[in-house]
Structure 1
Amino acid sequence: MSDNRDAPDWVIPLMRLGYSARGVTYLIIGALAFLAAWTGGQAEGTSDALSTLKQHPLGLVALWVIAIGMFAYAIWRFICAWYDLEQRGTDAKAIIARIGQTVTGLIHLGIGVSVGRMAMGSGGSGGNGESGAQSVTSWLMTLPYGTYIVMAVGVITIGAGVYYGYKGIAEKYKNHLMRTEWSEKLDPLVKAGLVAHGIIIVMIGVFLIYAGINTDPGQAGGIGKAFQTVRSQPYGMFLLGALGLGTIAFAVYCFVEAVYRVVPQLAGPDMQTLASEAKGKARRAAASV
């Protein structure tokens, strides 16, 4: 990883395209989950949701746009880590964060490849779209100490989910969002979306731990399995509907990032963020006491 370099000018539109593609994907997933709760149908994961999209007019075009957007998001995360665009520094905490950005890029690169294959007619969904998660888990279990690796990945995934929730509750996302009328109005949805997404990620991590403990890749799963698990609980339809709305809120968060995200290394000194506005209000309130 490298510091003190000038990032390429095209990184900003690349970032905005990537966040927009994420937003479209989660909007579809969340809307289908909410409709499933409303109609009593089956909630779908990422693969099944995108397969459903393919069946609609212009669905193939939409899949290619999403695939390209996922590639763009992956490249953005790689560049963000390499150039330290968020100015995290080089201490241990910063290095871990930048490694996390790289891993996120690799995950979305994989999603982009999967969506591209789906658009070309190869690949697809199966079993609530969980074949991908279960296939990766099965492969990990063939490695030396594979079950422990799966459980470790589960713990890391739970940590990522907890961080999403913390990021929303503690409003850490405000550090990188431009202050505008609309970013302020949409702030409650952004917070709710991050918390809801954190819950889903934690559930995926728990699935992985159970898969490792029982040496059973079939117990692993992704978003679709999280939805189905919630649905099987008492008042499951209401919980599924709430999680579907939360996923739609996370899509709103992605769209807000696409439009209003500030890249600290490339932003001017006078750029006002939601965080700086909140700090200014706190200072004014303290001064008036």
Structure 2
Amino acid sequence: MASSQHVRRHPLEVLGRVGYGVKGVLYAVLGVLALDAAVGPGEAEGQAGAFQTLAQQPFGAVLLWVLVVGLAAYAVWRVALAITDPEGEGDDLEGAGKRAFYVVSALAYGGLAYTAYKVVSGAGASGGGTEERAQTLLGLPGGRWIVGGLALALLGYGVYQFVRAYRASFMDHFRLEGEVARHRDKVRKAGQWGLSARGVVYVLTGLFMAQAALRSDADKAGGLDQALSALQRQPYGPWLLALVAVGFVMYGVYCGVNAAYRAYEGQ
């Protein structure tokens, strides 16, 4: 009864939990596809490729609609975090930076929701790729500086993922009680592995974006699929890709824990 009252009192909690749950599904799918590419002859795929693969599966359309709704819910929740500041980030420089990132995150996941919608509605996922967005930015006044700033932001966020993994500060957001508390170490390790895998990808995409800025060449920009392909081409590439793939699955587990056990006292 208390739980249902809590949900009625804080409706944004529903968006957060649904969003995290669907985000976890997406990362698990990305991890499975990347692992398949690591052990087989195929190329690693990004989010758009994952959506296309899901569309070809039995009940793929249903799952894609779930992703559309869930990713949109997550985007709305991130906007709400930025505006209402339920987690008490504050208005100082650090707090303002985190809240600004919530908006950027909302735009990114809103874009993913739209991409999934285009796939499930039959419009395809072409257009709006990383290179096209970089080309648009480079065409603006001071475009190289804008793209360079974006590169620094991606690199910084990648490093931040490693810091979060090392400190395991994400554990402070969980309310693990009863039997679940016995698996606290497993939850921590899953989060650390998952965040580290994300850190690798963000650093690589930041490096790609930096090349695009330095050379004023949008073709040098790259997203998730290019980052995974770059790993695949390295010495011991399949092993590196497999480690990141498993990390994605672990991040999916971490998102599932957020969906079920994240504390929302401030909302």
> What's the TM-score, normalizing by structure 1?
0.85
Are 1:132 and 2:129 counterparts? yes
Report the equivalent of 2:99.
98
Report the equivalent of 2:250.
249
Counterpart Cα distance in 1 of 2:53 and 2:62: 13
Counterpart Cα distance in 2 of 1:169 and 1:184: 14
Are 1:160 and 2:157 counterparts? yes
CA shift digits 1:228-270 (9 cap, x unpaired): 101111111111111111111111111111111112414xxxx
CA shift digits 1:41-100 (9 cap, x unpaired): 211111011100100011011111101111100111111121111112222211111111
Are 1:240 and 2:251 counterparts? no
**Counterpart amino acid of residue 27 in structure 1:** A
Counterpart Cα distance in 2 of 1:110 and 1:124: 11
Report the equivalent of 2:76.
75
**RMSD value, Cα:** 1.6
Instruction: Decide whether the 8 Å contact of 2:19 with 2:72 is kept in 1.
Output: yes
Report the equivalent of 2:3.
none
Instruction: Decide whether the 8 Å contact of 1:183 with 1:256 is kept in 2.
Output: no
Q: How does 1:114-125 map to 2 (within 5 A)?
A: 114-125=115-126
Instruction: Decide whether the 8 Å contact of 2:190 with 2:251 is kept in 1.
Output: yes
Report the equivalent of 1:270.
none
Q: How does 1:194-273 map to 2 (within 5 A)?
A: 194-266=195-267
Counterpart Cα distance in 1 of 2:107 and 2:60: 25
User: After the TM superposition, which of the residue ranges 23-32 and 178-187 deviates more from structure 2?
Assistant: 178-187
Counterpart Cα distance in 2 of 1:149 and 1:223: 20
Instruction: Decide whether the 8 Å contact of 2:71 with 2:113 is kept in 1.
Output: yes
Report the equivalent of 2:5.
none
State the structure with more CA Rg. 1
User: After the TM superposition, which of the residue ranges 151-160 and 117-126 deviates more from structure 2?
Assistant: 117-126
Cα deviation for residue 181 of structure 1 reads 3.1
State the secondary structure of the residue aligned to 1:48. helix
Counterpart Cα distance in 2 of 1:161 and 1:263: 26
Cα deviation for residue 8 of structure 1 reads 6.1
**Corresponding pairs, count:** 256
Cα deviation for residue 182 of structure 1 reads 3.8
Of 113, 136, 141, the residue aligned with 1:144 is 141
Counterpart Cα distance in 2 of 1:148 and 1:49: 32
CA shift digits 1:202-239 (9 cap, x unpaired): 11111100011111111111111111101111111111
Report the equivalent of 2:44.
43
CA shift digits 1:23-49 (9 cap, x unpaired): 111111111111111123211111011
Which contiguous aligned blocks of 4+ residues in structure 1 show a shift greater than 6 angstroms? none
Cα deviation for residue 184 of structure 1 reads 4.0
Counterpart Cα distance in 1 of 2:184 and 2:259: 11
> What's the TM-score, normalizing by structure 2?
0.92
Counterpart Cα distance in 1 of 2:186 and 2:162: 20
Of 160, 166, 169, the residue aligned with 2:166 is 169
Are 1:85 and 2:100 counterparts? no
Counterpart Cα distance in 1 of 2:253 and 2:144: 36
Instruction: Decide whether the 8 Å contact of 2:55 with 2:64 is kept in 1.
Output: yes
State the secondary structure of the residue aligned to 1:210. helix
Counterpart Cα distance in 1 of 2:265 and 2:90: 12
Gap regions ≥5 residues in structure 1: 1-6, 267-289
Instruction: Decide whether the 8 Å contact of 2:34 with 2:45 is kept in 1.
Output: yes
State the secondary structure of the residue aligned to 1:124. coil
Instruction: Decide whether the 8 Å contact of 1:74 with 1:109 is kept in 2.
Output: yes
User: What is the percent sequence identity of the aligned residues?
Assistant: 33
Report the equivalent of 2:27.
26
Instruction: Decide whether the 8 Å contact of 1:207 with 1:220 is kept in 2.
Output: yes
**Counterpart amino acid of residue 32 in structure 1:** L
Counterpart Cα distance in 2 of 1:204 and 1:169: 21
